[in-house]
Amino acid sequence: MTLQRPALAAALAALAACASPPQSTPVAPPAAASPAAATSALVPLRVLAINDFHGNLKPPSGGLRMADPARPGATIEVAAGGAEHLATALETLRAGQANHIFVAAGDLIGATPLLSALLHDEPTIESLGLMGLEVSAVGNHEFDKGAAELLRLQRGGCHPVDGCRGPRPWAGAAFQYLAASTVDKASGQTLLPPFVVKRFQGIPVAFIGLALKGTPAIVVPAGVAGLRFDDEADTVNRLVPGLRAQGIEAIVLLIHEGGATTGGINDCPDISGRIVDIVRRLDPAVDLIVSGHTHRAYICRIDGRLVTSGDKYGTLVTQIDLQLDTRSGDVASARAQNVVVRESFAKDARQTALIETYERLVQPLARRVVGRVAAGFTREANAAGESTLGQLIADAQLEATREAGARLALTNPGGMRAPLPRPADGVLRYEDLFSVQPFANNLVTLTLSGAQLLEVLEQQWPAGGRQRVLQVSRGFTYQWDAARPQGQRIVPGSVVLDGKALDPAAPYRVTVNAFLAEGGDGFTKLRRASERRTGVMDVDALESWLRQRPGYGPGALDRIARLN
């Protein structure tokens, strides 16, 4: 839920004093080493990092995909993740380390599974605090429910609509979110502190945290109303002189932006993406960059600096070992590896108790009534590839994103994990909808030209692959011909939207789920879309649609027609 602007302004004003940069408190430089200590002038520091956790308190479906050691060029799925195993992995990696810190690079919440989402992600924030998380950058998904909600999660207090549903009144996060580049336009102050300084055997280390500059383009506008997201490198470079003036030489950047490589979890071949340019523009004083956002794993050197990313969903922990020079206070060396959070890490008893507590609380919410249906909806497709469940979901997603300019919605059949049968009493509950759409995928409304949309439709029949017919919303119709060559199966002139033939040169606002938006299921042409705007979760769109239409039932399968 997003608070209205007056409530947001009040929340921001209340925070202004503590959100100001903490440079005002001088930090003394480390004491100079004595000649006798010259041969042992290094202090080890282990930094443990995650990114893009997205509330996966339980091991995510599919685990971690990584290179198959037995088959060069092939990949395998490895069971990994889950808060119980992650907590133990962290404790294991801390063992024997006099100096250590657990940090994160954003998107800890948002697009979360039912267990966390139903309780406004308080379970995730509590779980990570229990693991010892100390600081995290904000990510774009931290703004899914608005800035005021993010501040509530940070500082404490009951939800303004639902109240406190947890086992106790919400006390706030045990760790600190950082938002160096997120500025309240009205006050000119950062929404949250830009950095924190931690001391390790007397050596100060600054941790700067920030979100990607493009956040406003990929979240619901109301979530970032009144906020400005500054350039990442420019923001960091403005902070560095003040830090160094206080005697701080060791600087770590936690940034919710990343890249992609073609290698394994500890490799860095062909690194690409915005993170490359950002790192190259950073002040040379920045020693380490912990990145995220792209859901990739890599250990890189860019312009001589260590850049890391730990995939997603808590399947990896990035172990970073720094050596701090006691004489200069700077980082003398840095190395890292991504550690798989395997099931061999025993379950942490405190995390098990936390999950069990929240599961009991979620049950009544999961059983809440969301609507009534006249008949069930099936995933079974007709000869053209269309299903009643697909129509329902596409229609719901179009309706939920009208405000973003959507005229058409497309959804993939693989995103529908179960049918939606009519219960004996016709009453649907939230858990019924979640079984259909369990991925917590946000909706993304993007712009395609008519010609690009045709290219997307042609990708429903990949060369040598299995057809995946996209489900389409009402008002959109077309024909396809199985006898035509691959890449030319859409019947020319048959594509119609709202009674008008598709114009190849015209722009169209199209809604898909986040998985498709990134080229999932082979729909790579969607990556070329522009003007992306992230909306509500798919399951929430479905709930809203059914709530407004009691007694709703399936209609005729007449949007897609097959010839031959």
Domain extents in the chain: 41-358, 369-563
pLDDT reported for residue 114: 85
Burial class (CB in 10 A: 0-12, 13-18, 19+), 11: buried
pLDDT reported for residue 414: 81
DSSP structure string for 283-352:
-TTEEEEE--SS--EEEEEETTEEEEEE-STTSEEEEEEEEEETTT-SEEEEEEEEEE--TTSPPPHHHH
**SS3 of the chain: helix, strand, coil, percent, to 5:** 30, 25, 45
More confident residue, 410 or 72: 410
User: What element of type H or E holds 126?
Assistant: helix 122-131
* Largest Cα span, the chain: 87
Q: How confident is the model at residue 6 (pLDDT cuts 50, 70, 90)?
A: very low
Q: How confident is the model at residue 383 (pLDDT cuts 50, 70, 90)?
A: very high
pLDDT reported for residue 243: 98
Q: How confident is the model at residue 409 (pLDDT cuts 50, 70, 90)?
A: very high
Comparing CA positions, the residue from 257, 518, 256, 542 lying closest to residue 399 is 542
More confident residue, 37 or 143: 143
Q: Is 50 exceeded by the pLDDT of residue 24? A: no
pLDDT reported for residue 216: 85
DSSP bridge partners of 479: 561
Q: Is 90 exceeded by the pLDDT of residue 321? A: yes
pLDDT reported for residue 264: 93
Distance (Å, whole) CA 545 – CA 398:
10
Lowest mean pLDDT among 29-38, 139-148, 350-359, 364-373: 29-38
pLDDT reported for residue 11: 42
pLDDT reported for residue 57: 96
pLDDT reported for residue 482: 94
Distance (Å, whole) CA 388 – CA 559:
11
Q: Is 50 exceeded by the pLDDT of residue 18? A: no
pLDDT reported for residue 10: 43
Average pLDDT over residues 322-330: 97
Q: Is 90 exceeded by the pLDDT of residue 15? A: no
Query: What 3-state class would DSSP assign to 362?
Result: helix
Comparing CA positions, the residue from 76, 52, 193, 195 lying closest to residue 124 is 52
Lowest mean pLDDT among 59-73, 83-97, 196-210, 316-330: 59-73
Outline where DSSP puts E strands in 412-520: 427-429, 442-449, 471-472, 476-481, 496-497, 500-501, 507-513
Choosing among 3.40.50.970, 3.40.50.410, 3.20.20.150, 3.90.780.10, the CATH entry for 369-563 is: 3.90.780.10
pLDDT reported for residue 221: 72
User: What element of type H or E holds 388?
Assistant: helix 388-400
pLDDT reported for residue 17: 35
Distance (Å, whole) CA 190 – CA 18:
10
Q: Is 90 exceeded by the pLDDT of residue 196? A: yes
Q: Give tens-digit pLDDT for 446-479.
A: 999 999 999 999 999 988 777 899 999 999 999 9
Tell me the range of 103-117, 122-136, 210-224 where mean pLDDT is highest: 122-136
Contact 193, 136 (CB under 8 A): no
Query: Measured between alpha carbons, how far apart are the two ends of the chain, in Å?
Result: 48
Report pTM: 0.76
Lowest mean pLDDT among 27-36, 72-81, 142-151, 533-542: 27-36
Average pLDDT over residues 36-57: 85
The answer for 480, left when phi > 0, alpha when psi is -120 to 50, beta otherwise, is beta
pLDDT reported for residue 402: 96
Q: How many CA atoms lie within 13 A of 13 on its CB side?
A: 7
Q: What b/e sequence results for 211-242 when a residue is b if at least 16 CB atoms lie within 10 Å of its CB, and e otherwise?
A: bbbebbbbbbebbbbbbebbebbebbebbbee
Q: How confident is the model at residue 256 (pLDDT cuts 50, 70, 90)?
A: very high
pLDDT reported for residue 74: 87
Fold match between 41-358 and 369-563? Answer: no
pLDDT reported for residue 415: 83
Distance (Å, whole) CA 32 – CA 36:
11
User: What element of type H or E holds 533?
Assistant: strand 530-537
Tell me the range of 110-114, 334-338, 417-421 where mean pLDDT is highest: 334-338
Outline where DSSP puts E strands in 157-296: 176-178, 182-184, 195-200, 203-211, 227-229, 250-256, 286-290
Average pLDDT over residues 422-450: 90
pLDDT reported for residue 403: 94
pLDDT above 70 covers what percent of the chain? 93
Q: Is 80 exceeded by the pLDDT of residue 19? A: no
Angstrom distances, CA of residue 301 to CA of 20, 106, 298, 306, 422: 32, 21, 10, 5, 55
Q: Give tens-digit pLDDT for 126-181.
A: 999 999 999 999 999 899 889 999 999 999 999 999 999 999 999 999 999 999 99
Q: Is 90 exceeded by the pLDDT of residue 238? A: yes
Average pLDDT over residues 369-388: 94
Q: Is 90 exceeded by the pLDDT of residue 27? A: no
pLDDT reported for residue 130: 98
The CATH classification number of 41-358 equals 3.60.21.10
Query: What is the side-by-side strand order in the sheet with 560-563?
Result: 500-501, 496-497, 476-481, 560-563
pLDDT reported for residue 219: 77
Q: Is 60 exceeded by the pLDDT of residue 49? A: yes
Comparing CA positions, the residue from 192, 253, 256 lying closest to residue 219 is 256
pLDDT reported for residue 237: 98
Which amino acid does the sequence have at 29? P
Q: Is 70 exceeded by the pLDDT of residue 67? A: yes
Q: Is 60 exceeded by the pLDDT of residue 13? A: no
pLDDT reported for residue 222: 76
The pair of structure tokens assigned to 102 is 């657990």
The pair of structure tokens assigned to 64 is 């971690």
Q: Is 50 exceeded by the pLDDT of residue 375? A: yes
Q: Across all residues in the chain, what is the average pLDDT?
A: 91
Distance (Å, whole) CA 175 – CA 116:
18
Outline where DSSP puts E strands in 34-170: 42-50, 64-67, 75-78, 100-104, 133-137
398: Cα separation from own chain's centroid = 22
Which amino acid does the sequence have at 49? A
Average pLDDT over residues 368-376: 93
Average pLDDT over residues 373-384: 94
